[in-house]
Chain A
Amino acid sequence: MATEATGEAGKAVGMPQLDLSTWPNQIFWLMVTLVVIYFVLSRIALPRIGAVLAERKGTITNDIAAAEELKLKAVAAEKAYGDALASARTEAAKIVAAAKADIQKDLDAATARADAEIAAKVAESEKTIVEIREGAVAAITEVARDTANELVAALGGAADAKTVAAAVTARLKG
């Protein structure tokens, strides 16, 4: 059988597949190969790959959970920030209002003081004006009397000072 199916120098006669003399050899080495592959796979490769896949799945699950948690934290932080912002705004508004009131008070006081000063100044000024006016009137009377005396003297009349003064006073009143 062997010599018939495998001629010299490895040339095939017919189908080498049907050469039964090589079957034990093939089957033996096949079994060896399968056993080796089976042990390498079941002892090393498959547990390792399975562990890697499981680990990855776990990592992904954990990461997603962590991400969810962080997201919640971010939302909480945002809310806290909003709250802080709102309370800060209220506080600021309060401070602004207080400052405004303070300023208003100061302003009012200053205005009142200024008003009083102005009033005092005005009164004083009025008094001075009155004095000046009175002074002016007296001066005018005197000047008018003197002028009248001089005029009368110039015109050749011997004027009685008393008469002239009476006349001038009468004219000034008039």
Chain B
Amino acid sequence: MTDVLLPLSIAVPIVAATLPLALGLRYEDVGWPVAAVTTLGLVGSAAAVALEVYTAGPFDHELGGYAPPIGIELVADELSAAVFLLVTLVSAATLVLSRAIGPRGNAFHSAYLLLTGGLVGVSLTGDLFNLFVFLEIVGLTTYALIAADRSGASAYASLKYLVVGTVGASLYLVGVGYVFLATGTLNMADVSVQIVEQAGYTDPLIRAGYAFIVVGFALKIALFPVHSWQPDAYQRAPDSVTTLVAALVSTASAYALIRVTYSVFTVDFLAANDAITTGVLLVAGVSILAGSGLAVMQSDLKRMFAYSSVAQFGMVAAAVGIADETALLGGVVHLVGHGLMKFGLFCGLALLAAGYGARRVEDLASLARDAPFASGALAVLGLSLVGIPPSVGFLGKWYVSLGAVRSAGATGGVVGIALAAVILASTLFTLAYVARVIEQLYFAGVDRGDAERGVADHGDAGGHADGPARDAGDAVADGGSGDATAPGTVPTAPLVVLVAAALVVVGLGFAGAGFESLLDPYLSEVFA
């Protein structure tokens, strides 16, 4: 019975995406209620699916009643249920944020619903080509959303993302084409069987197919050499959109990478192809270092945390390449944890930007006195990103490093040790930029007394134009989001969500054993 929820969770948001536009012809502001009702339904469905998966085991749904090798299959297992839950919760929370700081148009909510449907599709599908279609639905709506504030700069950032993202998805499709040539099937479970029966793990078609797929995902995830679309896209997008995109879109691609690597190609393929594994680990390692290093150099807050995503996804990719049970557990934990942390961080930045016009590190000076809760939540989330226990950020990094060292111990290679060292070094870099933010928030020593604040706020509307170089982007973003909040305050509802996110991130830090036991069936099946 629960299996009907799988197709419904994909179809309902996509069908509902037409409603804001259609009803918008007659009623004003109908987008938000439609989106809210749909997303709440999705949260319920995700909870039901997760409950079923974690108590009774994985289940699937055959679309249209066609049996899997021919028909398309939707699968909910321990991994996809976790991502499904993350997607719906973060989407629902973003809706609270967008209600307060915009964008509010009906078109925005249509695109938002399409994006949510696409993300759910990516997390549930069990078919390689179907995955491509959902990746493109996610991609298309993301491009549209990034350009949603109607400025030229965001259109350019969006076009750049469109070109790079489409090349990524197309390379994935080439890879799928090669695998299809070798096996004659597209169903993930069936492909993993047919690769052994019809081709073998060292078959050039299979190898080339996997290489194309990995490069395609690397473009979509924004790993180091091909990450350059990401900082622009995150910085130029409206704040609510950045929150949603940073938390979920790359996460969905990284999930797809884990899914395709371990459910389709399997661990034995990685073991049989050292060159490919080494390549993945190399890209991941460089990505971790370069992303953290570049983040330290930024003074625009959104750009800083965009580069930080490059490093964090490097860690997930490293977990994929290590091919160790503990490391993969770490990769999944970090994937989910990073989604939550980035949601919280960008949500906090959006609130401070809406309330105080803070867009660069120095704008944060002593904001903790005016906005204690938002600043506190930002600090907690930042420390979690560094990996200070107890937090989910620590758990993910810990498991990945542990897995790296363990695999080095098992094979006697230096790669694992080197990777653990890279993760440690990147932790220091992360501390460097997070500490800058926290220092500005709490110890800048700027007196934001009432008198001064009056002056500052007065100047806020016009005064922000005082540094044209610095505020050109500001004015654009502010103009687009249509601020309803009074300057000098932080809207309450999203603040509650933000504090809740910070608490969840800390709380999950105590749930290491829980993650282990929940994901254990998946991991032991993959590493059987």
Question: Do A and B associate with each other?
Answer: no
Interface residues of B (CB under 8 A from A): none
